[in-house]
A and B are shown apart, each in its own frame.
Chain A
């Protein structure tokens, strides 16, 4: 595609429910990143994929959060048993290789998650 796309654009869920967020990176981009942006906070790194593997999961806040990437393309971020503090904008970005200095990350529009 022309850019990074994410779905859904907005998601409202009840506390305790599971949610799945999807990211379609730019075609041909090997690296994919998930970030979380909360009100008044900067972008918080969650996880990084190089192809289908995730060499860096250090940012996942708890074991309720998981992510996978299949076919070196689409990625899904799953949050189980959602809590109100999970409410945030979840941003996905992709870059060509993820291994070059000052490589540009291209961001999607984000999924706005609200946990009631």
Chain B
């Protein structure tokens, strides 16, 4: 079973602070995706990283895929209250099925 461990599980920060969320595994993934989910809604894809060592930026969000394609991080600069939500990472399996294995998520609260 390919497992993804996310940390921290909960994070509460003040508006304007920076934060990093981690997604780790002992398994290699074809790609890794980050989603954001708000209460009462389904997850929405933020980014997909495919190449080991890849870094992608989406405004104040920076996503990095580990060199060995086993881990990833999400860094948010100058957090805003609108960043509040559940952040999920998901790895695409290497077995050709393109199925996703999800982490349990990091629940982020940004306090004004």
| Chain A residues with a Cβ under 8 A of chain B | 4, 35, 40-45, 48, 55-56, 91, 93, 98-110
Q: Are A108 and B42 in contact (CB under 8 A)?
A: yes
A102-B29 Cα distance, complex, nearest whole Å: 11
Q: How many residues of B contact A (CB 8 A)?
A: 25
Q: Are A103 and B42 in contact (CB under 8 A)?
A: no
Q: Are A101 and B31 in contact (CB under 8 A)?
A: yes
Q: Are A43 and B88 in contact (CB under 8 A)?
A: yes
Q: Are B101 and A45 in contact (CB under 8 A)?
A: yes
A106-B90 Cα distance, complex, nearest whole Å: 13
Q: Are B48 and A43 in contact (CB under 8 A)?
A: no
Interface of A, secondary structure class, is loop
Partner of B104, one of A41, A102, A106, A109: A41
Q: Are A102 and B42 in contact (CB under 8 A)?
A: no
| Chain B residues with a Cβ under 8 A of chain A | 4, 6, 30-31, 33, 40-45, 48, 50, 88, 90, 92, 97-105
Q: Are B31 and A42 in contact (CB under 8 A)?
A: no
Q: Are A56 and B99 in contact (CB under 8 A)?
A: yes
Q: Are A105 and B99 in contact (CB under 8 A)?
A: no
Q: Are B98 and A107 in contact (CB under 8 A)?
A: no
Query: Which residues of the other chain, A, contact B30 by a CB distance below 8 angstroms?
Result: 101-102
Q: Are B41 and A109 in contact (CB under 8 A)?
A: yes
| CB of A59, distance to nearest CB on chain B (Å) | 9
